[in-house]
A and B are shown apart, each in its own frame.
Chain A
Amino acid sequence: MLGYLTKIWTISERLLKESKVDMVIGFRKGTVPMMNEPCVVKSPENVKELVWDSNCGINLANYLTDRKEKIAVIAKGCDSRNIVTHIIENKIKRDQLFVIGVPCKGMIDRHKISSMFEKEIIEVIEEENKIIVRGNDCEKIFKKAEVLQENCAICIHRNPVIYDELVAEPVKEQTDIDRYKDVRRIEEMQVEEKNNFFDETLSACIRCYACRNACPLCYCPTCFVDESRPQWLGKSIDPVDIKTFHLLRAFHCAGRCTDCGACQRACPMGINVRIFTKKLEKDCFELYGWEAGMSLDERPPLDTYRPDDPEDFIK
């Protein structure tokens, strides 16, 4: 994946020089280990600011919402599926976009690596399939596979589903993946146990809304938690209000979430917020055979009606 960069530069430079696009949205190198910053490049001289490595976990579809310019955007498998969702939901037009597709081998989990390294992390170097973590006078080498973000480890759509140009040959898709083991474990719980599990999961939440704001699906002009006339939800750290926010947000993402993991990556408290959206993702898959963002030609299940829609769950 490290070899993609030259190709990203060449394509971006060409598009900007030929004025095919007004800007390229990608990542630039971050100021701390395991972080890159989403950025916009508008001039061909600056394309070398762009970077690509396993720290590009933020979903760039989030930066396309309601933009009017012609935009080239660098997209992993999940970003491309959210771009499809954005197009279907009229948040951007297909002909405004030049999708620079990146066959993805997964992003690394900065929370996980920090917890596996006792000292302060000064530097993280990536080699193909190897992550070298350095502190002052110490070093640890991880296999990339052991420190992948959890959503990447179980990803079955690593290649972009729409693109105008790919930066490399498609990668092999992972097969024989059990995507919903964790969800089943919760489904099996009794009501009270489930409720306790939710409370425990969310106990560290500080209501910063990083999960919501990192999510490309959460573009409502006024989120229900921000409704103030009248107010819909309490503002304190009351556990019921916190839980209401997370559960309702997940429901809003039903049939739209691609499990890109941006929410979890963004959370400053390391909360497993994906567990909620995954349940809805699983339901949509099992009930409607639906995976979000796979095609521009099909409406999402929750915005269409078909006479043969399952209705066993309606009680």
Chain B
Amino acid sequence: MKIIRIDKKNWAGGLEKLKGSYRLFGPVKDNEFHNFKRLDKDELPDFNYFNTRLSPKSIIYPQSEIMLEYELDENKENHHVMKESKKDYSQRVVIGIRPCDASAFLLVKRNFDTPEYKDPYWIRSYEATTFVGLACNNPQATCFCTSAGCGPFYEDGLDVLLVDAGDHFLAKIISSKGENLLEAAGWDTETDADEQIETMKQEAEARITSFVTTNKLKDKKIIDLFDAPFWEEVAFACINCGTCTYVCPTCWCFDIQDEAYGLCGIRMRNWDSCMFPLFTLHGSGHNPRSTNMQRVRQRFMHKLKYYVDKYNDGIQCVGCGRCIRLCPVNIDIRKICNMMNSYEVQVTSD
């Protein structure tokens, strides 16, 4: 794969050039922390960050997204007809996404892009986007990506992998989308740095100090894990807020709502969370997950068992560590994953 050397003095110029043909998104420090946002003219992405507070999933899958619009005024033509809402699907690029966050989109894709169902909003948005990853030279203590199916230099899900090498970036081209982007920016100095990147990758991986064990999850019986005695204890502290699910790059659940203002209305979807009682409340008033414990169990069973069984490709987690860092009461998915993985049913003889 081709590697392009980008001297940092050519960085800002290239990005400005890109802004002619792409909408640029990147990490920007706002108040106390970094988040991804659209970069204005002359605004540069700020790479001095470990991991953004919120995952960049909202770039593809906004927290609130209008899908359809309608008119209720009977004097108007096509009243009460749902019309697709106009959206900008012109090409754009996310600069400086961490490899874990980019690979999370591949996990989420399994839900939004299946042979049976194609979510037009997610797919169009995803396909219009080029992902330029920023390799993690210094992973955090809560990062456990290497045992969650990716890594600090992981390439799947990226179009370009950018490696910060001091006074320059090494840009490894992963896809044709990536190649086109570098061309459009005018970065074309080819270099031979495979070995350098490989060494840096190994160094970064060696800095990961946190791991989960997932090897036995698949072989466990669903019912055994479901009935395991540890859920009450795991759930005790949980306050059932939506923090873990909203900061997670792989949580994909949403709720559809109609909102009407006067004679106009919209149909939108909003992120939802399995931590909320309303998530499963039936029209009858019955709630199959009415307790805190049932909801906590659902979240972990989905990520670490149902998903594992359904797709046979690891856990529904990329190890970014956001839920661990931001949970108000310190519920730690690493601990729970290891508990589930090592759980053995106690056989009692009667």
Enumerate chain A interface residues (CB-CB to B < 8 A).
30-32, 35-40, 58, 62-63, 111, 114-115, 120, 122, 204, 206-210, 212-214, 226, 228, 234-238, 265-270
Contact = CB atoms under 8 A, between A and B. Distances in A.
Given A31-B335, A38-B236, A115-B32, 8 more contacts: A30-B330, A37-B330, A114-B32, A208-B241, A226-B277, A228-B281, A236-B63, A268-B247
Nearest to B335: A31
Nearest to B63: A237
A238 B64 contact: yes
A268 B270 contact: no
Contact of A38 (B138, B237, B242, B334): B237
Contacts of A209: 241-242, 276
18 contacts: A31-B334, A39-B236, A63-B236, A120-B138, A120-B140, A122-B141, A206-B242, A207-B246, A208-B241, A208-B273, A234-B257, A234-B259, A235-B64, A236-B257, A236-B270, A265-B328, A266-B241, A266-B243
Contacts of A38: 236-237, 329
B268 A58 contact: no
B242 A208 contact: yes
A36 B53 CA distance: 21
Contacts of A111: 32
Nearest to B334: A31
B213 interface: no
A263 B326 CA distance: 13
Nearest to A226: B278
Interface in B21-63: 30-33, 50, 53-54, 63
A226 B259 CA distance: 16
A213 B241 contact: yes
Contact of B330 (A31, A114, A226, A238): A31
Given A235-B270, A270-B31, A270-B33, A37 B239 contact: no
B16 interface: no
Contacts of A32: 141-142, 324-325, 330, 332
Contact of A62 (B239, B242, B331): B239
Contacts of A268: 53, 243, 246-247, 326, 328
Contacts of A40: 233, 236
A-B complex: 7 closest residue pairs judged by Cβ atoms: A266-B328, A236-B64, A210-B241, A213-B239, A208-B242, A37-B330, A268-B326
Nearest to B283: A229
Interface string B43-87: 000000010011000000001100000000000000000000000
A63 B50 CA distance: 34
B194 interface: no
A228 B233 CA distance: 31
A162 B278 CA distance: 36
Contact of B324 (A31, A115, A206): A31
Contact of A213 (B64, B240, B278, B334): B240
B323 to A, nearest CB: 10
B35 to A, nearest CB: 9
B255 interface: yes
Contacts of B325: 32
B330 A36 contact: yes
Contacts of A35: 330
A120 B137 CA distance: 13
Nearest to A111: B32
Contacts of A37: 237, 329-331
A214 B328 contact: yes
Contacts of B268: 236
Nearest to A25: B236
Interface in B99-156: 138, 140-142
